[in-house]
Amino acid sequence: MVAPVIVLLLLFHYLPTLGNVIAFQDYSPYVGIRDSEFVGLANFSRMFADGAFWSALVNTLTITAFQLVFFFPIPILLALLLNSVLSVKVRTFIQGVVYLPHFFSWVLVVSLFQQMIGGAGLLAQSLRANGFQAVDLMTNPDGFILLVTLQAVWKDAGWGMIVFLAALSTINPALYEAAAADGANRWRRMWHITLPGLRPVIVLLLILRLGDALTVGFEQFILQRNAVGAGAAEVLDTYVYFEGLLVGDFGYGAAAGLFKGLVGLVLVLAANKFAHLVGEQGVYSRS
């Protein structure tokens, strides 16, 4: 019964993973994998000598760091806020609303942002109508990092909240009652009960995010790279697409993709190891 899935995974996941050998070849689709010339690490040394590659890597890491500071805490704050809402009706309604954008496609999210704050969007339109200079926040390279973070927050902050809400619901209410009886006010209860209760989940998600440091959302960037230019919007994934696939430089693009995959793998395993060292559960345990 498992066979169809295994066949699909072998064919569309493991076989192309092996196909990464072309990263070490001067690959030509006309000659094929078997007969393309083996060039060792030439693709990689060319990549490390390319300023555009470093720019893409720096962009990727900057965006990850920026989102760790400005995106990561928002689902936690939302969960705390919603958890403190007493009315079940209000809570369910707001939950329903904030989960919704997670199910929208990136094309849709970018379209909506464009209509709101783009050059022909509602913001520019009302600025013009009131005699101000119109602004286009969708094509400004300097504000791009803020823009993509806002989009990510709009789309996924509500969804990210689920895990924290679940963790909050597992905290024993008797703890709060006992603390209150001992005279702890709301802030001390949050500091000594709520946050320790959330800690395992926070650590887990931080690990997953750090392990995914080289992934910042492919579709979001590919959709907007033309509008703001490669200087700000080129990330590793789009670099592979534009410098490898679109120009038919397959071996080189595969090298960049393999670099990203391998570094990502090391990051996940390292982050997990670190979590075990500091006494948290981590993602995988050696059971």
Residue 254 within binding range of another protein, rule CB under 8 A: yes
Burial of 71 (0-12, 13-18, 19+ CB in 10 A): buried
Answer for which of 39, 127, 163, 175 binds another protein (CB under 8 A) is 163
Q: Which stretch binds another protein (CB under 8 A): 35-43, 44-52, 190-198, 257-265?
A: 257-265
For another protein (CB under 8 A), the number of binding residues is 91
Q: Which stretch binds another protein (CB under 8 A): 34-42, 49-57, 63-71, 92-100?
A: 92-100
Residue 191 within binding range of another protein, rule CB under 8 A: no
Answer for which of 44, 218, 242, 274 binds another protein (CB under 8 A) is 218
272 CB contacts (<8 Å, ≥6 apart)?
207, 211, 282, 283, 284
Spatial contact of 149 and 66, defined as CB atoms under 8 Å apart:
yes
Residue 90 within binding range of another protein, rule CB under 8 A: yes
Q: Which stretch binds another protein (CB under 8 A): 48-56, 60-68, 140-148, 159-167?
A: 159-167
Residue 41 within binding range of another protein, rule CB under 8 A: no
Residue 154 within binding range of another protein, rule CB under 8 A: yes
Question: Considering all CA atoms of the chain, what is the largest pairwise distance in Å, rounded to the nearest integer?
Answer: 77
52 phi and psi, to 5 degrees? -65, -35
Would you list the DSSP string of 21-84?
Answer: GGGGEE--TTT-TTTSEE-TTHHHHHHHT-HHHHHHHHHHHHHHHHHHHHTTHHHHHHHHHHHT
Residue 210 within binding range of another protein, rule CB under 8 A: no
Answer for which of 261, 263, 274, 280 binds another protein (CB under 8 A) is 261
Which 121-150 positions form the footprint of another protein (CB under 8 A)?
Answer: 121-122, 125, 128-129
| Minimum distance, C-beta of residue 68 to another protein, in the bound complex (Å) | 21
Residue 97 within binding range of another protein, rule CB under 8 A: yes
Return d(Cα 176, Cα 189) in angstroms, integer.
7
Nearer to another protein, 68 or 94 (CB): 94
Q: Which stretch binds another protein (CB under 8 A): 52-60, 64-72, 104-112, 190-198?
A: 104-112
Residue 85 within binding range of another protein, rule CB under 8 A: yes
3-state class percentages of the chain: helix first, strand second, coil last, to nearest 5: 75, 0, 25
Q: Which stretch binds another protein (CB under 8 A): 34-42, 50-58, 62-70, 215-223?
A: 215-223
193: Cα within 13 Å, side-chain hemisphere: 21
Burial of 121 (0-12, 13-18, 19+ CB in 10 A): buried
Nearer to another protein, 11 or 65 (CB): 11
Answer for which of 48, 54, 104, 191 binds another protein (CB under 8 A) is 104
φ/ψ region of 40 (left if φ > 0, alpha if ψ in -120 to 50, else beta) reads left
Residue 180 within binding range of another protein, rule CB under 8 A: yes
Q: What is the dihedral of CA 267, 269, 274, 280, to 10 degrees?
A: 120
Answer for which of 43, 57, 250, 271 binds another protein (CB under 8 A) is 250
Residue 172 within binding range of another protein, rule CB under 8 A: no
